[in-house]
Amino acid sequence: MSDSAEDVGPVAFLFLTFPGERADPEVVETFRDVVSQGVITILDLVFISKGMDGALHQVEVDEDLDSVGLAALSLEAKALISDEDLDVVRESLEPGTSAMALVYEQAWARRFAAASRKAGGEVALHLHIPRDVVETAIAAVV
């Protein structure tokens, strides 16, 4: 992914839940595959688990992802997931479950979106994260 927001394709937020306190290996492998194929670019990721005792454990993308089964994902995070987003994730977890909050670029649409903008147009599709939010977040990191 480019460091310029102008070169970013459509961006979305995804929230996956799992039984247990680690990510499902098959899901992690699927993400690794779609990233390596250039379908998506993972921009940010946070993993949260809730123990049977109700204790929360949170792992940010720049921490030890292996401890929660996510070592196969290689990421350069852009810090796009807010504390407010994570509050929703934390509140929804049942004891003995976990969740992965993920912001990703639909990389397959990057060139198409750029060509549309160059022609004075815009891609007319539902964006889960408004473009101005993505631009502001990327600009803040760069």
Model confidence pLDDT, tens digit, residues 92-134: 899 999 998 988 888 887 887 788 888 888 766 544 576 788 8
Q: How far apart are CA 113 and CA 134, in angstroms?
A: 15
Model confidence over 56-103: pLDDT tens digits?
988 877 777 777 777 666 666 677 888 898 998 899 899 999 998 988
CA angle 57, 59, 64 (to 5 degrees): 120
Residue 38 clears pLDDT 80, i.e. is over it:
yes
Cα separation, 130 vs 103, whole angstroms:
12
pLDDT at 6: 61
- Residues 6-41, buried b or exposed e (16+ Cβ, 10 A)? eebbbbebeeeebeebebeeeebeebeeebeeeebb
